[in-house]
Chains A and B, each alone.
Chain A
Amino acid sequence: MAVLAEKVRSAERPGKSRRRRSARKRLEARWGWLLIAPSVIGLGVFSIWPIFRTLYYSFTLWGAFGGHTWNGLTNYRTLFSDSEVLHALRNTLIFALLSMLSVPIGIVVSALLNRPGLRGLGVYRTFYFIPVITLPAAVALMWKFVYNGDYGPVNQFLKLFGVHGPHWTSDPSTALYAVAIVAIWSSVGYNMVLFLAGMQTIPRHLYEAAEIDGAGKIRQFFTITLPMLSPTIFFVTVIGVINALQAFDLIYVMIGKNNPALNDSETIVYLFYDKAFVQSNGGYAAAIAFLLLGIIIVFTGCQFWLQKKWVHYE
């Protein structure tokens, strides 16, 4: 009897703590689900379900008076023979490529700012960063005036040299480039901040060693700064390309509808907005959105594949 009681007691102790541990686990599980519940519901309703809904819409034809009917792959087939889509695709790629110029500019600016003992870093950083946080709609209006063909400062400046500048934002041959310059202008500061943060993690002794070996500042930049910064450059480029492929605000405000240059400067997202919310052609717009997803996946995939060749990880 006593032996039995002893056995029970000895069996009880680990059992109790196991029970306590499993109670803890159950408590964690309950709280875990409770704490993520708002996000699960919110993102489920506003993000995850919409992806499937949009996918379904991309296979439908929208009537002029509401309602939609299944029409299989027709939207996707139309996409690749629609000259408007092909134009938008071309514009978007050119725009994304051009706006990536803010990466080398950002690298140069931050390399200059990163010189030891340079004064005024904070002031410069403020100036370069202000365009990043300025309302894009306001930026676009401001630059629209700068580019104005009749009295904009750009053309007035060119006039000093006897050059007659075009109407930059309504001339089909210049509009896209004019907008791309604004995109570069407004993202240099963002890149600069990230590059500066990246450069500050490069150990100083590398530069000191190079100095002793007699390497000049330029040489140090190419042999130390660039390779050590390559993970940051990779990240900035990936994010930058994804953002540029989704360009909308500047095009909407600086170009806008009824602009003769629209066909040569509208981007995929502008076309998506126009089809979905101006022309109420949600089915076709949904297909355009998936085309955009495809492009983003291809570009990002390529960059990840190419990074093995140039990104230098410690």
Chain B
Amino acid sequence: MSSAVLTAAPARAERARRRRRRDRRGHLVVHVILSVGALLMIAPFLLEMLISVETFAEATAVPMTFIPHVWRWSNYSDVFSAMPFKQMMVNTVLMTLARTAGQLVFCSLAGYAFARLRFRGQNVVFGLFLSVLMVPSQLFLIPQYEIIHDLNLLNSLPGLFLPGIFSAFGTFLMRQFFLQLPREVQEAAYIDGAGPFQTYWRVLLPLARPGLIALAILVIIWSWNDLLWPLVVNTDPSSMPVSAGLATLQGQYLTNYPVLMAGSLMASLPLIIIFILFQRHFIEGIAFSATKG
């Protein structure tokens, strides 16, 4: 019995050591595969950066120019003269802010009501919202365009953001979040004499912060990158967000790749920077929307 333990111990240690060594070798292989993948993910961006500081001749040279003769930073300022780029960026930012603010307010209000209040007809209305969730957004597009047209809001900022400040998905997401919060908190607030709105505003909303952050992140990503709706309502370049601006004006500057690349980089950089700064929130928000939404 005791001799068996004595012989087993070194054997076990040996096995553990071997496994550790195998793990380390395995890690190396994994690192190689993951690095190749990561390189594939960012290689187009590196190329984009390179092209954005080259001359047109260098960008289209065969073989490729890996080191530009002079770094042509003027490509970046050329973007602003080639298209109303500054105005487009402002439009994108304002559109995104308005949609995010709108959805945070309206979706959290409705989400709270669906999750925490009881009133006649709520199931019918919630069912209607869910059915909106199932329908592809193209089905709304023609009438939405007509409404914006009739309100005389084509080529305007409100036209860009108005339909996007309401969301069935956001309402559903917030409802799921409010459902998770402990019921006792709400009952305690009731006993203290708080009304339904005070309970929402003073008690539950502060607790729902992670949910609000998740919703905000999803709306920001969607709005910043949205293309179809802006193309439909704002056809005048100075009223376009930058997504539509790049997409429609590329035709005119089709061959001027360095300037286009500089513009593309500037247009996508803000979101990439926000992502890197708030990475944890992005990852959690997206995972949350998938598991709860």
Contacts and interface: CB of A to CB of B under 8 A. Distances in A.
A202 interface: no
B267 A138 contact: yes
B119 A141 contact: no
Contacts of A239: 290
Interface size class of A (residues with CB under 8 A): 35 or more
Given A36-B113, A134-B272, A118 B287 contact: no
| A-side interface mostly | helix
Contact of B142 (A35, A54, A141): A54
A48 B128 CA distance: 8
Interface centre among A47, A256, A282 (most CB of B within 10 A): A47
A272 interface: yes
A135 B244 CA distance: 10
Interface string B55-87: 000011111100000000000000000000000
Interface residues of B, number: 98
Given A40-B125, A126-B279, A197-B290, A285 B142 contact: yes
Interface stretch (B3-11, B37-45, B207-215): B37-45
A207 interface: no
Contacts of B37: 109, 124, 128
Interface in A155-184: 156, 159
A112 interface: yes
Nearest to A245: B136
B243 A156 contact: no
A221 interface: no
A135 B224 contact: yes
B168 interface: yes
A118 B139 CA distance: 46
B119 A50 contact: no
A128 B38 contact: yes
B267 A135 contact: yes
A48 B126 CA distance: 12
B160 interface: no
A217 B26 contact: yes
A70 interface: no
B143 A146 contact: no
Interface string B278-293: 0100110011001100
Interface centre among B41, B106, B140 (most CB of A within 10 A): B41
A38 B108 CA distance: 11
A31 interface: yes
Interface string A176-202: 000000000100111001100100000
Contacts of B140: 46-47, 50-51, 54
Contact of B41 (A151, A153, A156, A189): A189
Contacts of B114: 36
B195 A27 contact: yes
Given A38-B166, A193-B286, A28 B117 contact: yes
Interface in B154-172: 162-163, 165-168, 171
A142 B242 CA distance: 15
A59 interface: no
A243 to B, nearest CB: 10
Nearest to A200: B287
5 contacts: A29-B119, A133-B221, A133-B225, A256-B251, A273-B228
